[in-house]
Amino acid sequence: MSAAVAEHPLEALDRALEAERRALLENDVDALLASTADKLAALRRAEAARPGTIAADRLQALREKNHANGVLLSRRRREVGWALRHLGRVESTGVYDARGQSGARPQARCLGVG
């Protein structure tokens, strides 16, 4: 545990971003939640670091990793939305009201509480 405390915040952030990417690629929700918690903890530590101790090029590389993970996350969200619509969990936009008239507003159905 003391090795983790001595680890530079950017190394912890890099490790968390790699774990987040693996979790997204493997559709592992538990690993995604754990990596997100690790990422936030590393970010808090990095924010508390003394100015000038973090290289700008290292920050840029980590920003790019985070952005790539964001793209993956967006894709996963679209995939889940598509699957839910096709499972009937969210009505598509072309729905009819109780009188058979088109143009009724789509209604989302709650699948559970997070």
Q: Where are the domains of the chain?
A: 2-86
pLDDT of residue 22: 97
The per-residue pLDDT of the chain, averaged, comes to: 81
| pLDDT: which is higher, 64 or 2 | 64
Both structure tokens of 62: 């980590």
pLDDT at 94 over 60: no
Q: Can you say whether the dihedral through the CA atoms of 3, 10, 71, 93 is positive or negative?
A: positive
The predicted model gives 85-98 an average pLDDT of 64
Question: What pLDDT shows up at residue 9?
Answer: 85
pLDDT recorded at residue 54 = 73
Per-residue pLDDT tens over the stretch 14-70: 999 999 999 999 999 999 999 999 999 999 988 887 777 778 888 899 999 999 999
Give CA 30 to chain center in angstroms.
12
Cα separation, 52 vs 2, in Å, equals 24
pLDDT for residue 26: 94
Q: Which helix (H) or strand (E) holds 62?
A: helix 56-86
